Structures are given as structure tokens and as C-alpha cells.
Chains A and B, each alone.
Chain A
Amino acid sequence: MAETPLVRFAGVQKSYDGITLAVRDLDLDVRRGEFLTLLGPSGSGKTTTLMMLAGFETPSGGEILFDGRPITRTPPHRRNFGMVFQNYALFPHLTVGDNVAYPLTVRRVPAAEREQRVATALEMVRLGGLTARRPDQLSGGQRQRVALARALVFDPAMVLMDEPLGALDKQLREHMQVELKDLHRRLGVTFVYVTHDQGEALAMSDRVAVFNDGALQQVDTAERLYEEPANRFVSGFVGDNTALAGRVAAIDRDFADVALECNATLRGRLIGPAAPGAAVQVAIRPERVVVRESGGPNTVPATVQDIVYLGDHLRLRCGIDERTTATVKHPVGSGSPPAIGARTHLEFPAEHVRIYP
């Protein structure tokens, strides 16, 4: 049987202006102890969703349940969720120690215990000994860790993070991703994380909720999100993708034949309902495309336009017609590499081709 989710969004809506919906009819469960990422482009409603969960925004409709109890009208300071902001939001007039102690002083924890817990929390993010520093004396990564320690020190019921790594450079960001993931595993606290960076989402999360245009598109594990995107948006937003336009020629149970504009016909898995003749999109991941010397079933003739050497693989940009290009991930050392300008054939294996209405 299904246990009660930690958080349940039930038909939640949010509108700022009364005309457009920033979040529409959101039904989403946050499972106990999971690392859930809300992913989407800016304006997709992911941050609004997080702010409603934190209590800084009130839903225009629907209910948010925490442990089965509605918290829609609970003020943010009574929700007991730790929160990490993009700009860290460390109080500049307090030392690192006082920043981390803040939630404890609010909860009237005795001084001795407070000191102990602050030290433990700073130790946990590997910042022991920096208690007396001021936030402006810390590097970006250190500030991020202090913000994390502050959000964790009071044993919150859940930790919310609003693009916490957005301000860090790439190397530090990747390092912090590993640390966050590790911290989550050790503490077992539920993390809800907002980002627009799909790489970050795939690398850290147990599950990812993809948002677009105020609506939840798909909630799934990173692998299923990548391998089995539920719709055009998810397939385009998560990971690289070659997308070709065409019309349904024939339908055969889960599969369909699509006539492309370049006169080739491709067979692939049909995702969602479509009638013969309907305009569809054919999508395939670059690593699933195979370069062939000659034509065959499910192949499209193409011209190699550009080759980028990326160490472990080559990335080919192949022109199918004037307007359409396909991206191909070609392993190094697997056969002779094609040359720029060469006529070639691209095989799209039917089991990896996904057809979106």
C-alpha cells in the first residue's frame, strides 16, 4: 500500500494577475526522504511552486498537504522547512556562527546546546573553524555551505533550495552537486530543489518534476525522463535531441510509420494518440543514431556538415534537408570517421525513435 506522501499538491493553482496562471492544476507528491528536483525554463512555474511550498506565496486554488494535513494557510515561519536561496541570503551583519545559530535562537535553544549544534552543522558542511568570520570574508562556495548549514541546523522537516548553485562557477557547481547528493544520502532529509539546469537535475535527483508554461509535464527518475520522455517538451528540454517533422502514414499498435518532409519514411514508437495524416514530431537521442555507408530500413540520407571532436566521441551535425539537421554522437574508434561534406546515411533504430503528436 502507498504510504502518505510527505507533501501533496492537490489541484494547486496560482495566478499573480488574475488572468494568466503561473501554476495550473498541479498534482504532485513529494515522497518521504527523496531528492526531488523541480526543473523547467524560467517562467515555467517551478519557483512559484517552491514558494507556495515555503509559504511565501499563497495558492489561488487547491490545497497543499504536509503529512496529510493542509498547510496552505500556515505562515512560512511555522512550517519548519529549511530554505536555501540563490543569493545565499546570509545576514551580512552577523558572523557565520550567528547566522547558523539564528534558527536556534528563534527556537530558544539553550546557549550550550546551540553552540554544540552550530559546530556540528558547520562540521557537516566542512566549514569548522570559520565561526567568527563574516559572510563577506567567505568565497561563494563557502557562503553556499553556510547557507546549507543554516537550513539544516534546526532539523527541518524538509529542505527547500531555490537554484542554490546558480551563482557558482562550473567546476565548483559540479563539486557542490556531489556534496549535496552525499549530504542528502547521509541525512535522509527530504530535499526539494529548483533548477533550470537539466544536467544538475539529472545528476542529483531521485526524481525530477519537469515544468513548462505553468504545467507539470512529467515526474520521473532521471533515467526514465531521458529514455522515455512523455512529450515533445520533455524530450527537447532534457538532454540533446534530434527532432524531425513529418506526418503519420500508418499505425501499427504502439508503432507508427511517419513520412518525413525529405521523402524518407521512419518507423518509431508512438507516444500519445495520433491519427493517420496528423502532423507529428520524430525524436531520437544523438547516441542512438547510427552512421551507415548505404541505405536500408529506417535510414535517412544526409550530408555531414560539421564535426566536433570531444575526446571520447565525435559530434556530427548532419544536414537532412535545407532546414533540418540531425545531431549524431559517434564513438571514437568505431569504424572510419566520416569527412565533412560526405554523403552518408543515418539509421534511426525504430525502438529508439519516439513519435510525439
Chain B
Amino acid sequence: MEAVADTMVDVRAALRRDARRRTATALLLVLPLALFLLLTFLVPIGALLWRAVDNPEIARAVPRTVAALARWDAESPAPDAAYAAFVADLLALREQTDAGMLARRLNTEVGGARSLVMNAWRAQPLPATGDAAAVRAQLIALDPRWEEPWIWQAIAKNGARLTPDYLLAAVDLKRTTDGSIVTMDADRSAFRRILARTFGIAAIVTAITLVLAYPLAWWLSTMAPRRANVLLIIVLVPFWTSILVRVAAWIVLLQSGGLVNQTLRGIGLIDEPLALLFNRTGVVIAMVHILLPFMVLPLYSVMKSIPREYVRAAVSLGSHPLAAFVRVYVPQTYAGVAAGGLLVFILAIGYYVTPALLGGPEDQMLSYSVAQYANVHLDWGMACALGSVLLAATLVLYAVYRRFARMEPALA
């Protein structure tokens, strides 16, 4: 008995050794890719998420002021100690760029903060030192706005190293001075509208690509593989040219004197040229054109694996061919529809160049705002917060897709 048990232990140990060796080999094989993904994908995404909540400027520039305001109620006049600490902080800022960064950061919070802070910095050193009340009086003498609470509220609110403000602003929410979260005023809010527009355009584009791609993919799937491959290459032709070339081509085609309008007028369908450019129509046409292959390919690969016998069987059982197609064939393509739809939708919500070049101001998508904040306002916090919202939307979509795929085990 014991001998048998010993043998079993040996066998198990050998199995474990074998499994370990195989795992090690597998890890070695994927290591280069894993490193590549870490450096080019995970680290940037981490940086993006970090920057969306990172708020270093004020905590770094005026640490004493932040400490002095820690127990302030944000309603009453700021304590004298805060004035003294602020002046001490300003004195510590040697370079103008440091002061400028502080001023710019506070200016994004409240208008007029830039000149206020820069004037105070240039007035340094103030004559009085030591007595906090005297410092306060001097600062107010320099600019009476120092008596008002808003600049101190802005400093106190952003004293923390991490802030939810960017993320809140990305969905049109803001934190009030007492810490509660409220909806932004209608005249300042824009992102919910842009977000809704982004999802709306992506949904329309996905729906149109599905309608166009489904019959095409079905037709391809019924063909001999050789011919189908040739036609698939034609489907992929849009990928052969750069996106800018394609957009330029669309501008030529869609303009009011362009080929499309001329043709439609030539055959007498319209009297006035249709507005196809610099509006939603142009954006949708170009995006559908570019994204179509991403819908065709998953659909084709799913449809190719569905034997013709299914529809034949349904027909032989008395189903009208059309009903057989809808009841038997279409449900089996749901996996392809879901995969293609997800792919097109996720790619579409990130579109930037096409709406920027072919759309009007009311057709810009969230990526445009990201670029605007990153390139024009140099507000990386806001840019990254908007990027995080896109990322979150993508993840939510993917979770929905997974749930859907699990519900249909036969399709997964």
C-alpha cells in the first residue's frame, strides 16, 4: 500500500514539474509582446488615468497656504495666517514660470485669477513681514479683490494632490465650495451634449454599416472561397489609402458642385445641390466608408462557418425561405453582428480626423475636445479626463458584449 502511495506522490510531483516547465516556456514566448504591451499600452493608459485625477500645481506651489486653509469653512473671510502663508509661498517661487503655472491653474478655476496672482508675485517682497494681519492689509491694498473669498476657495479646493474635478467636468458636473456635487450651469456645460452626439454618430454609423455589410457578407459566404477572397480584397481597398486622402476624396465628391450632386441634378432627382459636406451627412458617409470592412470581416467569418443545410432543413420543414432565413440563419449570425457592431462602435466613438475635416462645429466628437484641451488649452487634466470617459464607455460596451455572448453559449 505504502509503495503505491509513494509512486503516486512521485507521479504527481512529475506532473507538477512538467506543468511548471510548460508554463515557463509559455511565459518566455509571450514575454516580448507582454513587455511591448506594457510599455505602449498599459503604461500610457495608466498615465492617462493618473493625469485625469492628478492635481499637482497648487499643492506644489503654495503648500503653506493650503495648510493654513485646511480648517477654513470657505464662507467667512480667509484667516490672516493664510495671507501670511501665501506671501511666504510666493516668495519661495523663484522663477516666473512657477508663478505663471500657479496663476494659469487658478485661472482655469476662476476667471481673473491670473492677473491677481501675477501682480502679487511681481510685488514681492512686500515691506511688512512677521505680522499676519499686516501682510493681509498690504495684499488687499495691492488689489482689493484679495479680500474676497473666491481666490481662497479656489486654492483650498485644489489643495489636495488628487482631484475629481476633471472627471466631474467631463460629464458636466462640478464640486461646489462646500464639497457637494451639482450639475454645471447650462451655459458652461457641453460635454454631455458632445458625449451624446459621439454615441449618436457612432450608433448611426454602426447601424448603417450593419445594413450595408450584412447582405454583402452573406453573398460572399455563399461563394467559392477563391472568388470570395478576391472580393474581400476589394472590400479592404479603403485600408490601402491614408485617411486624409480618403477624406479629401470625399470632399471632392460631396461638395455642392461635386460628382454626387452633379449626377443627382443631371438625372433630375434634385433641383438644388444637397448639402453633403461640413454637416452630419458628410461625417456619417465617410465614417461608414472607412469602417465598413470592420463589419464585413467578422460577419463573413461567422457566416462562412454556417452550413447551408440549416436553411435547407428549415425550408424542408415547411418554412418559407425568407422566414427560414430570419428564424434560423440570422440568429446564428448574432455573434458576428455583435463582434462587428462592437468593433465599429468602439472605433467610431474615437473618431477625430473625419468629423474635424468633413463636419461642421455641431458634428465634432469627443476626441475633438480631447485634442482641443491637449493642444490648445494645454489642459492635460481635462484632456485625460475626457479620454478616461471614452475608455470607460468602451469597457462598459465590452462588458455588455461579454454578457450577451455568455447568454448565447451556442454562439460564443
Which residues on A are within 8 Å of B, measured CB to CB? 54-56, 75-83, 85-87, 89, 91-93, 102-103, 106-107, 134-136, 150-151, 154, 160
Contact = CB atoms under 8 A, between A and B. Distances in A.
B410 A89 contact: no
Interface centre among A87, A92, A160 (most CB of B within 10 A): A92
B408 A77 contact: no
B313 A89 contact: yes
B314 to A, nearest CB: 7
A55 B316 CA distance: 8
Contact of B307 (A81, A89, A103, A136): A89
A77 B316 contact: yes
A151 B315 CA distance: 12
Given A77-B319, A80-B318, A106-B323, A93 B312 contact: no
A91 B310 contact: yes
Q: 5 closest pairs, A vs B, by CB?
A: A83-B316, A89-B313, A103-B317, A89-B309, A93-B331
B319 A102 contact: yes
Contact of B319 (A79, A81, A93, A106): A106
B317 A102 contact: yes
A120 B410 CA distance: 26
B203 to A, nearest CB: 25
A76 B316 contact: yes
Nearest to B319: A106
B409 A89 contact: no
A136 B315 CA distance: 22
A134 B309 contact: no
A135 B332 CA distance: 13
Contact of B318 (A103, A134, A135, A160): A103
B317 A150 contact: yes
A160 B315 CA distance: 13
B56 to A, nearest CB: 54
B312 A77 contact: no
A93 B410 contact: yes
B328 interface: yes
A85 B318 contact: no
26 contacts: A54-B316, A56-B315, A56-B316, A76-B315, A77-B317, A77-B319, A77-B321, A80-B318, A83-B316, A89-B313, A91-B310, A91-B314, A91-B331, A91-B332, A93-B408, A93-B411, A102-B319, A102-B327, A103-B317, A103-B318, A134-B409, A134-B410, A136-B410, A151-B316, A151-B317, A154-B318
B345 to A, nearest CB: 23
A82 B316 CA distance: 6
A91 B331 CA distance: 10
B313 A85 contact: yes
Nearest to A79: B316
Nearest to B317: A103
B411 A107 contact: no
A158 to B, nearest CB: 11
Contacts of A76: 312, 315-316
Contacts of B408: 93
B122 interface: no
Given A91-B314, A135-B410, A154-B317, 9 more contacts: A55-B316, A75-B321, A76-B312, A77-B315, A77-B317, A77-B320, A85-B313, A89-B307, A89-B309
A56 B317 CA distance: 13
Nearest to B332: A93
Interface in B269-328: 307, 309-310, 312-321, 323-324, 327-328
B410 A106 contact: no
A268 B271 CA distance: 92
A102 B410 contact: no
B315 to A, nearest CB: 5
B316 A91 contact: no
Contacts of B318: 77-78, 80, 103, 106-107, 154
Contacts of A92: 332, 410
A320 B134 CA distance: 131
Contacts of B331: 91, 93
A64 to B, nearest CB: 15
A106 B313 CA distance: 13
Contacts of A134: 409-410
B319 A91 contact: no
A271 B309 CA distance: 42
B336 to A, nearest CB: 13
Contacts of B310: 89, 91
A102 B327 CA distance: 10
B304 to A, nearest CB: 15
Nearest to A135: B410
Contact of A85 (B309, B320, B410, B411): B309
Interface centre among B307, B313, B328 (most CB of A within 10 A): B313
Contacts of B332: 91-93
